[in-house]
Structure formats: structure tokens, C-alpha cells
Structure 1
């Protein structure tokens, strides 16, 4: 399982083929400032019932396979965003409660990573966690070969999600790998982006649930930006951008809005 190939994906995403996307040109200069100012805003949701939410805590290494639900038909692994590690289980519980309200009752597990540093360091931590999570998933799928794996990353959790796919590197496939309000680069899924091959090789389906009302996200503020000043690009056949702007009013609203969560589980 590769552990170092994608640690410099931030640079790859920003300099690919010497082209500069229109959306990145407008947004990249302010991205880190916006992240530090906005990603720490508390969720609007009330405290969720965290009973029965398992947690995989990667802050001190790779957790035990037994820390997640075993022998389930499927499991959703929910990855939190920046400055939310202390509320990781609660964030997962909020998604589970909204999913249950729209008819989806499969287990949800919280994936916790070290987001304690300033934004630039936290982004690197998110990328490093992708390698660790991929290693853990390889062991988990060996122990639970019949379990359908679903990954959902919010904000910088979308970076963990993409790096996990890259580290899996086609050794196995995950059923769905989705992001909400992703802080990954807006060209990440594109043909000339850093994760085009990983998306094709390591997942059955990848979805970017975006809201144009989200003033914090990068990829998650609109569809993948594959157009440069000089040419247009494409995304993988198994990748889709899904507009949830009608139900998502801001960066913290995705997991508690039934319109957004219905769109997610309808693709399960």
C-alpha cells in the first residue's frame, strides 16, 4: 500500500500542466485565510444522539479493525472537516439521524483525524490520514469481504477521501466515495488533476455534492472545474457532480438537510 506517493498532491493540484482554472484563480489566494476563519464555525445542528456510532481515531496511528462494525451489509465511514475532530462522532451521528429520517438505517462510523494545526498543516495531516485509512480499509475488507464500503468526507474530510482512493491504488474498490462541501482542489477529479486515475481505479462511484451557497469549499462550491484558459478537460466516467444548492445554505448544513442527504442515500 503506497504511503508517500501523494503527500505532495496539493502542489500537483495547483500546478497541473501549467494551466490555471478560472475558479482556482479567483479563489485559491484566499482559500487558506477562508479556511482558518470559517471552517471552525460551529455546526448549527443540535447535539446528536451518538449512541451506536463507532469511531476510528487516526490521531495516534491506525486503529484496530475491530473498532468498526463487523459483518454488516454496509457501513458509511463519515470523515469530519477542519477543527471538528472533537465533534467527529457527533457529526457522524447528525448524518445518521438525517439519513434515518429519509429511510436509510445502515451503520455510520466516525473517522477522526488530527486537525489540530493551522490550515496548511491540517491539509497535510488530512493527506497523510488518507494513506492510513487506506491501510486500515484493506485489513477491514479482508475481515469483512461481504460488507459494502461507503465513504463520505466533509470539507477537509474530502481531502482525506481523495487521498484514501489514491493510496488504495486499485488494490480493491470502494462502492461509493462521496464528498460534501469538499475543500479539495476544484480540478482534483479532472483528467489533468491529481486524482483522475485514483477515482477510476479505486471506486465504483464518486460523487461531489456541492452548493453554490458554500463560501468555504473549493471543489464543493461547484462542479469540478476542468476548463483551463486554453482547453477543456473531462472527469472519470464513474464521477458525478451533484448540485444540492437548493437545500444547502452554507458550509455546515449538508449533513442535516434532508434534501442533500436524500440525494446521497439515493445513490447508495
Structure 2
């Protein structure tokens, strides 16, 4: 397939692969599976309780919620997806992002997307992938009921897996305005031409951003730019995809939502 993407700058950050070796970031990402179980503890310990008033929750743990569970007839809305071991704090996590966004001048509604993150990391990852299908089906109905509403998705950590799987399940039937991630636990080559989500990104969203921090010891894609320097990749990502370095404001895996610099960068792309 001819390349429809742009040259990705991550090639220069990768270990040379001419000898068939896997890049250092992918090896580190694989090792991170062993420590991702600690992500929820880190996220909880670093947060200040937020006022959850006004945050609607879409709870996918027991099936697909009603379209009317989300705000209706809004100019735009952000659907915030939590990470591993954070389902019980999903609304609070969304409220923290909303409050930081308000502080930098963004006043649109934020809704919490809650998925079943129970069990071991491997179980939770599969649940995140399954939730992407459910959320895409829900969004299709929401778009039908709210055709003038601008849709934005923001997934944190394993919520970044839900984000990508949602785009794949939408499959170009409609487009959301932005589908972004912070500290994503999706694979580091996911947006690349030979990755799993190149076409999904290109056809199902107007823009996709990976807000990453090199201080994040848990994330995979979210610990650096997309890694297209592997065995068979040609180093391209879709034209509507961008890696955004927020390392200066994000000190660790739990800091994205409260970091003014990070949230300001997100809002600047809205």
C-alpha cells in the first residue's frame, strides 16, 4: 500500500534495526507489563479529590449504557476514559481533567467512560479492547441523536487502548473530531503504517494526538513518540496523527490530568 503518512521522527530515537533487533522502547514496553499493576496505586496517591458535580458517567461494566446517560445537544463534549484499576475513580479522574481544562480556558462538558478493569493486567487489556467495540457502537447512536455535537475522546493509560479500539470499531463509518491519549498503554508502534491502527486513525478521526512524557515509567506509546523503527516498519504515521511531548509538565504516569502544561497542550489542539 502506498504510504499516506508523514515521515515519523521517532526513527532517530530507536536502536538501529538493520540487524533485525527490536527497538529498546519495545523491549522496555514489554517489561512494563510486569509493573503496570502499580499504575492505579500511583494514580490514586498523586491526586487531589475533585468535585465530581456535573460529570456524567457512561458505565460499560454491565453492558451498553443509554445514549441519554450523556449530556445532549452540546456544542462539543470530551469523553474521558480511565486507566487500569481506576474504574471506581472514573468520575473523579474525569472531573480532575475538567477542572484543569477550565483553568486553562476550556469550558465544554466532560463525561467519564467507565470500563471493567478488574483482574490481572492481561485480563484488563482484553477488556479494554472489548470496550472499544461497545463504545464505538454507543457513539454511533450518540452521533445519530446529536449530529451537531463535536466529539472528543481522551484515554489515559489502558484507556488509550480503548481509544484506539474505538477508532478501529468505528471503521470510518463516521469521524470524531479528536481521539487523543495521555500516557497510553497501547503498543508503541500502534499508529505506524505497519501497526494495528494506522487505517483506524486515518479514517475515523479528524486528528489523533499521543501526549507523551519521557518521565512516564509505565506507559508504552505514552512514554515517547510512536516507535516506527522496528523490523519491518517504514517509519510513517498517518497525516492526521501527531506525537506531543509534554515531559516538561508531566513528572510521572499519574500527573497528566493535573498538569496545566499538558492539559493546555490538549486544549490548544481542540
TM-score (normalizing by structure 1): 0.91
Match of residue 52 from structure 2: 50
Q: Does the alignment pair 1:33 with 2:34?
A: yes
Contact 1:21 1:226 in 2 (8 A): no
SS in 2 for 1:254: coil
Q: Matches of 2:259 and 2:177 in 1, distance apart?
A: 23
Per-residue deviation, 1:66? 0.2
- Larger deviation: 176-185 or 34-43? 34-43
Match of residue 204 from structure 1: 206
Q: Does the alignment pair 1:105 with 2:107?
A: yes
- Larger deviation: 204-213 or 223-232? 223-232
Contact 1:23 1:225 in 2 (8 A): no
Per-residue deviation, 1:24? 4.3
Q: Matches of 2:151 and 2:254 in 1, distance apart?
A: 24
- 5+ residue gaps, structure 2, are 1-19
Contact 2:193 2:234 in 1 (8 A): no
Per-residue deviation, 1:39? 3.8
Q: Matches of 2:203 and 2:76 in 1, distance apart?
A: 21
SS in 1 for 2:133: helix
Q: Matches of 1:230 and 1:144 in 2, distance apart?
A: 42
Per-residue deviation, 1:233? 1.7
Match of 2:238 among 229, 236, 239: 236
Q: Matches of 1:164 and 1:34 in 2, distance apart?
A: 25
1:233/1:254 CA distance change after superposition, 3 Å: same
Per-residue deviation, 1:25? 4.0
Structure 2 counterparts to residues 99-178 of structure 1, below 5 A: 99-178=101-180
Contact 1:175 1:204 in 2 (8 A): yes
SS in 2 for 1:78: strand
Match of residue 11 from structure 2: none
SS in 2 for 1:40: helix
TM-score (normalizing by structure 2): 0.90
Contact 1:71 1:146 in 2 (8 A): yes
Q: Matches of 1:239 and 1:218 in 2, distance apart?
A: 17
SS in 1 for 2:236: coil
Q: Does the alignment pair 1:214 with 2:216?
A: yes
